[in-house]
Structure formats: C-alpha cells, structure tokens
A = this chain, B = another copy of it.
Amino acid sequence: MKFEIHAKDGSARTGIIKTLRGSIGTPAFMPVGTQATVKAMSPEELVLAGADIILSNTYHLYLRPGHEIISRIGGLHKFMHWQKPILTDSGGFQVYSLSSLRKICEDGVEFRSHLDGSLHFIGPEKAMEIQTALGSDIAMAFDECTPYPAEYDYALNSLELTTRWAGRCKEYLRKSEGENNAALFGIVQGGMYKDLREKSLLGLLEMDFEGYAVGGLSVGEPKNEMYDVIRFIAPKMPDEKPRYLMGVGDLLDMLEAVEQGFDMFDCVMPTRNARNGTLFTSLGRVSIKRTEFKSDPDPLDPQCGCYTCRNYSRAYLRHLFLAREILSMRLNTIHNLHFYLHFMEGMREAIKAGGFGQFKKKWQAVFVQNS
C-alpha cells in the first residue's frame, strides 16, 4: 500500500491510497458491507455510485458464514463479486456492541454470538487470522473500543491493552508474511481524555503502522467532545500516513474531520437512512414520505445524476416506500451512496482548488438548517 498526497488546503489534504486492487481517492468514504454485501446494492451499482473501497465486518463474517468458508471459496472479493479494495474492521467494535457475556483478558475476548449464543474467543492473532482468510486489503489491529463514558483509569488500562494487542497483530502478520498483502492500521483509543489519546498514538507510532485510525468516537458522546478529540489528535498523527476516523459518517462531522486532516471514513448512515426513507440531497435531508410528494413528477434531486434521479419521480419513490417495496430500498440506497461519494469527490476538488473552507460553509448551510 502507498499513500500519496496531491494537494493541501490548510490541514485538509487530498490524495490517493494505492493498493494492489486499485486506487482510493482521499478523502474517502467507505460504504459498509457488514455481511459481505452493502445492503440492497449489487457490486456493479457500488462502482457506478463511485465507490473505490468498501468496509466489511470481521465479527459478522467470522460468525456467519465463517471465514474458513469464505477462504475456501477464494476469499471475500470472489465470494461477494467485488474486485476493488476491502477494508475489514478488527471485530473489536462488534464484540462490544453486539455480543453478550464478554470476558476481556490479556489474550483477547471471550463472548457469546448475538446470533445463537454460542461461545467464541477472538484475540489479536485470531483477528489477524480471520482478516487474512478474508483476503482483506486493509486490516485493522484488534482493539478494545473504550465505551462512553469511561473513568480515566478504565480508559488508560483499555488503551494500553489495545496497544499491546496492536503489537501482537503486527507480529502475527510479520511471521506470516507472503501469505497475504494486507496493510495494517493501528487504532488510537483513550476515550475523551486527550493525554490518553496522545499516549495511545505514541505507543502505536513506535511500532510503525501503514495507517492510523481513531476509534471510540461517535459512541454517544456530545458532538463538541468528539470535535475536541478530532482537533487535538489529527495534527499529532503522522502526515505521510492515511488517517482514518472510524464509524463517523455524518456529513458535517466529515467536513470538520477533513478540515483537521482526516482521510478516511465509514458509516452506515447513507445506507441505513436510505432504507428508512431519509435521503440526502443538494437541498438537504428529505423524508420521501412527505405528503407534498404524492403526485410530484420531478426527480428527487434535480442536481443529481444518479440512476434513481435520472429515471424516477418523487411520486414513485414515495409510493414504493409506502408500499414497502424492495425497489424502494434499492433506489434510495443508490441515491444516498451516489450523493455521499460525490460529496467526497467535491471535497477532493475543493481541496485541490484551495476552496475547502467555502465548500464546508456551503454544505454546513444546507445541512445545519435542515438537520
């Protein structure tokens, strides 16, 4: 993996991440394909929407269908018919948010499946084994996602464990070199404590990862606390490596984080909202249920060139949503991902043109009023 920065505007930067499976323009948004599919979409539709990379979830694929099965089919790319890069998360976040009866020890986490209650154990080596079996292009080190709120001592112990685990992940990949080509990113934890965030970052920097992620944000804390951490940590992260803000995908949050120098994002927001009938447009958020759309022949967003806006009326989209048709989820998801991925493209162009500040103000005006 190589990372090239092509232009900067203040701390905001644009460039590309080069992988064996293709290049990723940054700032990049990664649609989430939890169960080896981005919900409601075909891989071809993802490409048309402008996706350079998707994220898939280690925890989910480990439980179902199982990473050995995916490996036997030829890896996750072949399994799901997606040729471009895939970033896999470490499984850490879902172990904490979805499973029950978690027991954390030095070696890893014992937990029960949210699907059938069966008992499992994932530690750093297992997380690497799974991500290797999947054939991930960018793998994440196994971490404990510090909950919010957390006491200082809890956050300290947790980040130190995450740092030791990151070292074991790196060691696992070093020993198995040649078997896979995944780049490995370390994850900064430390809760809302700035000194702990810095301590976490410094611990990871000593080990030299190919990219650095910030985890444990957008987990229920107030926006200003999240923004404080983003503003504090971004300038301390190495300039020449990709900076990934995990699980953050609100449009205004991404504007803020890109301004601080972040490069990568993932979130279920565009896809989940689409299925619930909330659409992102050049005029702001829109609920497709609105009565005023009942016989509206216009496209959802007259400024949008996506398949949905080129071929269907607001009246039809409203009808499909109220009738709970599968095509509703498809057309809404196509639009929202197109909007998100073109929003990122807009950021990249604005940074190149030295107009990121204006870009940010324009879209803040659209979405602040409206959210």
Give the B-binding residues of A (Cβ under 8 A): 35-37, 39-42, 64-65, 68-69, 72-74, 79-81, 294-295, 297, 311-313, 315-316, 318-320, 322-323, 325-327, 329-330
Question: Do B37 and A320 touch across chains, with their CB atoms under 8 A apart?
Answer: yes
Question: Do B64 and A319 touch across chains, with their CB atoms under 8 A apart?
Answer: yes
Bound: A166/B64 CA distance, A: 56
Expressed in whole angstroms, the minimum distance between the Cβ of A1 and any Cβ of chain B is: 27
Expressed in whole angstroms, the minimum distance between the Cβ of A366 and any Cβ of chain B is: 28
Hey, which chain B residues are within 8 Å of A40, CB to CB? 326-327
Hey, which chain B residues are within 8 Å of A313, CB to CB? 73, 79
Bound: A40/B327 CA distance, A: 5
Hey, which chain B residues are within 8 Å of A36, CB to CB? 316, 319-320
Bound: A36/B41 CA distance, A: 20
Hey, which chain B residues are within 8 Å of A68, CB to CB? 295
Residue in A294, A311, A313, A316 with the greatest tally of chain B CB atoms within 10 Å: A316
Residue ID in chain B nearest A71 by CB atoms: B295
- Indicate which residue in B41, B79, B319 contacts A327 across the interface (CB closer than 8 Å): B41
Hey, which chain B residues are within 8 Å of A320, CB to CB? 35-37
Residue ID in chain B nearest A318 by CB atoms: B65
Hey, which chain B residues are within 8 Å of A295, CB to CB? 65, 68-69, 72-73
A81 in contact with B327 given A37-B320, A73-B297, A322-B64 (CB within 8 Å): no
Bound: A40/B325 CA distance, A: 7
Residue ID in chain B nearest A79 by CB atoms: B316
Residue ID in chain B nearest A45 by CB atoms: B42
Residue ID in chain B nearest A326 by CB atoms: B40
Bound: A42/B333 CA distance, A: 13
Expressed in whole angstroms, the minimum distance between the Cβ of A166 and any Cβ of chain B is: 30
Hey, which chain B residues are within 8 Å of A322, CB to CB? 64-65
Expressed in whole angstroms, the minimum distance between the Cβ of A77 and any Cβ of chain B is: 12
Question: Do B326 and A326 touch across chains, with their CB atoms under 8 A apart?
Answer: yes
